[in-house]
Structure 1
Amino acid sequence: MITIPGLESIPPLWLQIAIAAVWVLFILAIAWGVNRFAHKEPEIIRKIVHIGTGNVILLAWWLNIPASIGITASIVASAVTLLSYRLPILPGINSVGRQSLGTFFYSVSFGILIACFWYLQQPQYAALGILVMTWGDGFAALIGQRFGKHKYKVFGSQKSWEGSLTMTFASYIVSSLVLLVSQGNIWQTWVVSLLVAVVATALEAFSFLGIDNLTVPLGSAALAFMLMQLFPI
């Protein structure tokens, strides 16, 4: 477990849950306010939620929140997002009838990664997988839509080289920071991060129905974990 300066002891369970819940509600409130008063494009609202809520995995890791809590939260969030595709539960985040299950897959990925890596007592890999999706895909979409001039298609899904390069760069930075904190300044940190970034970018290119919100975090976490086992410290 990584301890936060000034927080050397683990807070009680109720406080752990409260901190995580307050963070998620804070991000949703920001998204609601932007949607209600700033009238931004729906994609901007989705990315606020995408990037903001993804960082809750850091709280789960640093506070050592039990796996049962994380898995339960994932199940609840997955159910809510599924309903939101049919009912206006999350206006501005999911459009009713939207042809993408990205938000659902994103919620599911939390539960799967927490279940796997909390059990292995290696929560840093769950954090790595989620944060690669959170920051890598989040910024790739924003940069690609705004500055993406050089387009390419993968199985009918249009991407831009600008967005893909952003995905690679952001994924490398995120992976490096997580491994640097958890494993230290060793050569494996930098090499594994580079390989994870390249593979995550390739997985993000296959994004039909939002499946990349599942394949990118799971693939990134699994690859980082396996490579670190192949090249131990």
Structure 2
Amino acid sequence: MPAIWYKIAIVAIWVGGVTLTAELLHRFTSTDPEKIRKVVHIGTGQVILLAWWLQIPAWVGISASILASAVTLLSYKFPILPGINSVGRKSLGTFFYALSIGILTAWFWPLQQPQYAALGILVMTWGDGLAALIGQGFGKHPYKVWDSQKSWEGSLTMALVSYIVSSVIFLGVEGNIWQTWVIPIPIAIIATALEAFSKLGIDNITVPLGSAALGFFLGQFLLG
């Protein structure tokens, strides 16, 4: 078997494991559906790291994104993924999530700068995922943006986690230089704003694309 298929198998096993865990939690426990959704949200996002570390070709990521996007669209009409889409609110977030991975792969893999694709996806998965959990569990200071209720605790979590994720990626790629600690500041601010001004799950595409684009352009300007 060619090496590429082993790499694809590793990614497929990871995604399958995360999805299976969500379905088991949905079927056999009383876990809050929103928490189950965040398990998938955070867990599946780590495939971008696997794709980066395993040097999986862009066509694989793009093809997987197209397939996942199609499945998620069908799942809104048919009970394909009840553990993921049973949160009781209208949202295309899962579809936008899958789509964003394909767009960022198509953008940054050919440039041989996959770190920016990873930055965008991980800011979304960890930042948005933990912001929702903290906001719902500990949010005592709510505010409204359009018809969506947020909390200052959740938004602060989003900003802090976005900064940490971005810093870790720049530290791993560029080393301990001043840009590593400065570039993540505007990324965290923009990511938090995009997450706050979201509707129908659109933050699952605006946050990763906005974070990755800002990181890339600032990197080109400040890192050369």
TM-score (norm 2): 0.97
- Tell me, yes or no, if structure 1 residue 62 matches structure 2 residue 71: no
Q: Once superposed, which parts of structure 1, at least 4 consecutive aligned residues long, lie more than 6 Å away?
A: none
Shift of 1:34: 1.3
2:17 aligns with 26
Alignment of 1:31-50 (within 5 A): 31-50=22-41
Q: Secondary structure at the match of 1:119?
A: coil
- Tell me, yes or no, if structure 1 residue 127 matches structure 2 residue 118: yes
2:158 aligns with 167
Identity of counterpart residues, as a percentage?
Answer: 70
Consecutive unaligned residues of structure 2, counting only runs of 5 or more, are none
Residue 102 of structure 2 aligns to which amino acid in structure 1? G
- Tell me, yes or no, if structure 1 residue 78 matches structure 2 residue 69: yes
Consecutive unaligned residues of structure 1, counting only runs of 5 or more, are 1-10
Shift of 1:183: 1.2
Residue 208 of structure 2 aligns to which amino acid in structure 1? P
Residue 99 of structure 1 aligns to which amino acid in structure 2? K
Shift of 1:96: 9.2
Shift of 1:162: 0.2
- Tell me, yes or no, if structure 1 residue 215 matches structure 2 residue 223: no
Shift of 1:98: 4.4
Q: Aligned equivalents of 1:34 and 1:222: distance in 2?
A: 35
Task: Confirm or deny: 8 A CA contact 1:88 1:95 kept in the other structure.
Answer: no
Pick from 93, 98, 103: which aligns with 1:102?
A: 93
- Tell me, yes or no, if structure 1 residue 183 matches structure 2 residue 174: yes
CA offset digits 1:59-118 (Å, max 9, x no partner): 000111000000000000000000011000001211398411000000000000000000
Task: Confirm or deny: 8 A CA contact 1:85 1:97 kept in the other structure.
Answer: no
Q: Aligned equivalents of 2:205 and 2:174: distance in 1?
A: 25
Task: Confirm or deny: 8 A CA contact 1:34 1:40 kept in the other structure.
Answer: yes
Pick from 3, 27, 42: which aligns with 1:12?
A: 3
How many residues align? The count is: 223
Q: Aligned equivalents of 2:21 and 2:177: distance in 1?
A: 38
Q: Secondary structure at the match of 2:68?
A: helix
Task: Confirm or deny: 8 A CA contact 1:124 1:178 kept in the other structure.
Answer: yes
1:4 aligns with none
Give the alignment's Cα RMSD to 1 decimal.
1.3
Task: Confirm or deny: 8 A CA contact 2:134 2:153 kept in the other structure.
Answer: yes
Task: Confirm or deny: 8 A CA contact 1:85 1:96 kept in the other structure.
Answer: no
Task: Confirm or deny: 8 A CA contact 1:85 1:98 kept in the other structure.
Answer: no
2:188 aligns with 197
- Tell me, yes or no, if structure 1 residue 149 matches structure 2 residue 134: no
Q: Aligned equivalents of 2:102 and 2:6: distance in 1?
A: 21
Pick from 97, 104, 108: which aligns with 1:117?
A: 108
Shift of 1:165: 0.3
Task: Confirm or deny: 8 A CA contact 2:41 2:129 kept in the other structure.
Answer: yes
Moved more, 129-138 or 146-155: 146-155
2:130 aligns with 139
- Tell me, yes or no, if structure 1 residue 225 matches structure 2 residue 212: no
Residue 211 of structure 1 aligns to which amino acid in structure 2? I
1:5 aligns with none
Shift of 1:29: 1.5
Moved more, 104-113 or 33-42: 33-42
